[in-house]
């Protein structure tokens, strides 16, 4: 009886291994760097990066207009400049 039990356990393991190796029902997780489709071909990470850079530009412009000088606006503009340089690695 133990021989039948071992054979059954081995058959169950083989069946489970086949099910795992087949993997036709398992979908891979989406790649965040994969090219997106649509009007603007940006991935979600690239779109977020562009939105952050636009927000920095708007903050710098608002600070430059409100305080009539670029002294306070240089901080967001400097971060924007670093972001534009780093954009080479994002895009």
Q: Which tokens belong to 48?
A: 């977020």
The model's pTM: 0.56
Instruction: Using the predicted structure, report yes or no on whether residue 55 has a pLDDT greater than 90.
Output: yes
Q: What residue segments make up the domains of the chain, in order of their start?
A: 2-90
Could you give the percent of the chain with pLDDT greater than 90?
31
- List C-alpha distances in Å: 52 to 14, 85, 87, 91: 51, 14, 11, 14
Q: For residues 52-59, give the mean pLDDT.
A: 93
């Amino acid at each position: 009886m133990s021989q039948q039990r071992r054979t059954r356990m081995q058959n169950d393991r083989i069946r489970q291994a086949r099910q795992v190796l087949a993997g036709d029902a398992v979908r891979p997780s989406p790649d965040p760097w994969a090219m997106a489709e649509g009007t603007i071909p940006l991935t979600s990470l690239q779109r977020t990066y562009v939105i952050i850079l636009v927000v920095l530009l708007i903050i710098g412009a608002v600070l430059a207009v409100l305080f009539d000088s670029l002294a306070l606006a240089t901080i967001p503009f400097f971060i924007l400049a670093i972001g534009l340089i780093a954009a080479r690695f994002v895009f």
